[in-house]
Amino acid sequence: MSLITPDFGLLVWMTLIFGIVFFVLAKWGFPMITGSVRERAERINASIKAAKEAEERLQNLAKEQSEMIEEARREQARILKETSASRDAMIENAKSQAQEEASKIISQARKQIDAEKESALSDIRKEVAMLSVSIAEKVLRKDLADDSEQARLISALVDEMASEKGSDTTKSV
């Protein structure tokens, strides 16, 4: 038997054994192998599908997250704007109240000053009147010690009153 050229019987037996092995493999082996390959392919496809779904969910979550962040920023801006407006309103309110208070205080101070001024002027007028009466009394006592002087003063006063009355009537006409 040579290695390069096999015997005819060997070829027959090899072909027969190959056919039996092929038949056994085709009957039981190949279906199991192809079934395993098919199951594995289905698992791989299912995993790929699940991965795609997970990726889509992640993208949706990323979109939702960015939308939530944007909404939070808008809400923050709105709150800051409202807070700023509220602060400005409070400041304006405080300013107006302070101005009103200052106006009231100044008005009260002016009224008080005017009242004190009037009171002081009234006191001064009373003092001047008292001094004038006192001085007039002293002058009249000195000047009117004589009866003829008294008569002359009375007639001068009557003439003066008459002339004032005449000038008042000409003014009103």
Could you tell me if residue 147 is inside a domain?
yes
- Name the 3-class secondary structure at 173: coil
Cα 116 from Cα 118, distance rounded (Å)? 5
Tell me what the mean pLDDT of segment 89-113 comes to: 93
Task: Say if 29 falls within a structural domain.
Answer: yes
Amino acid 58: pLDDT: 94
Decide if pLDDT at 3 tops 80.
no
Q: pLDDT per residue over 72-97, tens digit each? A: 999 999 999 999 999 999 999 999 99
Q: Residue 58 has which token pair?
A: 């992640």
- The residue segments making up the domain with residue 40 are 8-165
The answer to whether residue 86 sits within a structural domain is yes
Dihedral sign of CA atoms 81, 87, 91, 97 in order: positive
The verdict on residue 120 lying in a domain is yes
Within a domain: 172 = no
Give me the residue label for tokens 């979550």: 61
Mean pLDDT score of the chain? 87
Considering the entire predicted model, what is its pTM?
Answer: 0.40
CA distance 144 to 156: 13
Q: Is residue 1 part of a domain?
A: no
Q: Of 5 and 89, which is predicted with more confidence?
A: 89
For the chain, the domain total comes to 1
C-alpha distances in Å from residue 93, one per residue of 84, 96, 103, 106, 153: 14, 5, 15, 20, 71
Give pLDDT, residue 160.
81
> ∠ CA(8), CA(11), CA(12), 5° rounding?
90
Query: pLDDT at position 101, please?
Result: 93
pLDDT surpassing 90 at residue 133 = no
Task: Using alpha carbons, list the distances in angstroms from residue 64 to 13, 73, 93, 140, 141.
Answer: 71, 14, 42, 110, 112
pLDDT class for 152, splitting at 50, 70, 90? confident
**Residue pair 144/153 in contact by the 8 Å Cβ criterion:** yes
